[in-house]
Amino acid sequence: MTNNIGIETIQDFGEQFTAYSEISGYFASIEILQDVLGPLMEVSDFRDRSVVDLGSGSGRWVKIFNQLGARQITVIEPSNAIEVCKKNNAALDNVIYYQTTGDKIPDGIYDIVYSFGVIHHIPEPDPVMSRIFEVLSPGGKAVIWIYGWENNELYLALINFLRIITVNISHNNLDKISALMVKLVRFYSRLTQYFPLPLKDYMQTVIDKLKDYDVKHIIYDQLNPHYAKYYRRQEAIDLLEKVGFENIKAYHKNNYSWTILGEKPKLKK
């Protein structure tokens, strides 16, 4: 059953990124990467590094890493969205593409493994986290962004109810529903300017900077996947700690999600 859910989720994202293939504006900016990293890293840390983008989707992070001067970018994408990623980054000559899952990252010399919005969609993430640890060079870093449970209780009650229905809706119909909800999200965001509502920080620092196209994509992304887990802080830290990472740090991004940074131990002299 778990394996079936994982396969369905991969298919969900293949369909999603084929439909939402445009990457531009704040959604694909260096600024949004720094927002994800918070105080854990600087965007300049990607310069001259060999980076794995685990779960590349449409390839926006590939574009950003290249702008930052990454030496080599390795794309890991299990779905047919890899074709979208290739198209969006066709002009780049420092990218290697693998259509495979995170537990099968090819051997290589990697300084950073970056995974945004992927691990929380994997029902059994431990093999993926173990492989991330294995392929990183000593002293290398894993940067994982995942949904957070804290401060999302009311939101989860709503979204989990909606997903019972929306995971079985066709792409075209879900796209129409998502389009209708854009104005609702914009209205809610305006309300957060006057009231201490859930997701206030996220609305004002992320959503308000995005085009309607990207907001619709985010709504679709929330309603479409067959599996999504919202992690408590310690659960997020445990993902890295139990496979061997050290110096683990957690950043509560916009008070609704977790960015977790861990380092692979350096070789002892």
Domain-located, residue 268: no
| One domain for residues 143 and 10 | yes
| One domain for residues 123 and 171 | no
| One domain for residues 93 and 10 | yes
Residue 264's alpha-carbon distances to 103, 137, 164, 243, in angstroms, are 17, 7, 39, 10
| One domain for residues 51 and 176 | no
| One domain for residues 158 and 200 | yes
Residue 8: the pLDDT is 82
Q: What is the C-alpha separation between 261 and 263, in angstroms, rounded?
A: 7
Domain-located, residue 269: no
What CATH code is carried by the domain that includes residue 252? 3.40.50.150
| One domain for residues 144 and 199 | no
The string of DSSP codes covering 32-81 is HHHHHHTTS--GGGGTT-EEEEES-TTSHHHHHHHHTT-SEEEEE--STT
Strand partners, 97: 75
As given in the structure block, the two tokens for residue 143 are: 């940067």
As given in the structure block, the two tokens for residue 268 are: 């002892």
CB 132 within 8 A of CB 236: no
| One domain for residues 55 and 8 | yes
Residue 94: the pLDDT is 98
Residue 3: the pLDDT is 64
Q: What is the C-alpha separation between 49 and 27, in angstroms, rounded?
A: 23
| One domain for residues 245 and 218 | no
pLDDT per residue as tens, the chain (269 positions): 456 667 888 888 888 999 999 999 999 999 999 999 999 999 999 999 999 999 999 999 999 999 999 999 999 999 999 999 999 999 999 999 999 999 999 999 999 999 999 999 999 999 999 999 999 999 999 999 999 999 999 999 999 999 999 999 999 999 999 999 999 999 999 999 999 999 999 999 999 999 999 999 999 999 998 899 999 999 999 999 999 999 999 999 999 999 999 999 998 77
| One domain for residues 109 and 158 | no
| One domain for residues 124 and 157 | no
CB 83 within 8 A of CB 58: no
Domain-located, residue 32: yes
As given in the structure block, the two tokens for residue 226 are: 């067959």
Domain count across the chain: 2
| One domain for residues 67 and 161 | no
User: What is the residue whose two structure tokens read 């099968």?
Assistant: 104
Residue 7: the pLDDT is 82
Model's pTM, two decimal places? 0.94
Residue 1: the pLDDT is 43
Residue 2: the pLDDT is 59
Structural domain boundaries enclosing 191: 153-223
| One domain for residues 38 and 110 | yes
Pairing relationship of beta strands 72-76 and 50-54 according to DSSP bridges: parallel
